[in-house]
Amino acid sequence: MARHGGGRGWYGKVVGAALGVTMLATGASVWTAQAGAAGASSPKATASAAPGGAVKPVAVTIAHASDKGARGVNLTIDDGPDPVWTPQVLDVLREYGVKATFCMVGEQAQAHPDLVKKVVAAGHRLCDHSVSHDTTMDRKSEAYQSQQILDAERMITKASGGVRPMYYRAPGGAFTPYSRGLAASRGMRPLGWNVDSKDFERPGTDAMVATVERELPNGPTILFHDAGGDRSQTVEALRRLLPWFKEQGYSCGFPVR
């Protein structure tokens, strides 16, 4: 998973002190070892004060595999929701009977709760993509990382009507041992990608389709975007790729948890 440079950069600001959570996961020993190796401190406090009530912690390792197995494909849609492009993406997914994981920016979810609810109602999954899509999060303090992750979790959960995000994807892939451990303790599996469609660069639909078809053997999780500018190429690429997946014997599923 290469660092992804696309996105709107930091346009939020720290609004409070760090919120921590106890590492309740069965993978707590893994977190402890990783944090110790990186010189980071383990998140502290309890999960009860965080949004959504009690949660079941998950593994801290970055997920790539599909719950559909060796011929599974995970569609992940980043940076929305967007009032223009998210409905069009949803229409294409519905047309082909396919589910996806929407990695939402907290500020976008807060601004468009109707779209968050539509994503959930259609059977798709939610992913915390931070409050403001700061691709330099890995170089910021643990207090800042906590604010970005936990405030986004709260914003998305509220916008959805109470459905919690199941994953956390760091903006640009800017994970740290601390951020992975914090997200996992909140029940959000860190989520990577194997194939970057390059749609953020708008290289043309043909180029995007060719990239996905060529790189799919690298792994099942594919990165697309439904915000951050004109996403007409993304919509058209999905319209061409979804039937191709089926023809090639692939099934669209969700990242493992």
Catalytic residue numbers? 78, 225
**8 A C-beta contact, residue 193 and residue 211:** no
Angle at 92 between CA 90 and CA 94, to 5 degrees: 65
Residue 158: CB atoms within 10 A of its CB come to 16
Q: Helix or strand or coil: residue 197?
A: coil
- Name the β-bridge partners of 63: 191
**8 A C-beta contact, residue 66 and residue 253:** yes
Supply 74's token pair: 């995970």
CA-to-CA distance for 102 and 93, rounded, in angstroms?
A: 12
Beta strands at 167-168 and 72-78: parallel, antiparallel or unpaired: unpaired
User: What angle in degrees, to the nearest 10, is found between the helix axes of 232-247 and 85-95?
Assistant: 20
Closest-CA residue to 144 (of 57, 17, 8): 17
- Determine which helix (DSSP H) or strand (DSSP E) holds 221, and give its type and residue range: strand 221-225
Sign (positive or negative) of CA dihedral 141, 147, 153, 159: negative
CA-to-CA distance for 226 and 90, rounded, in angstroms?
A: 10
CA-to-CA distance for 95 and 186, rounded, in angstroms?
A: 33
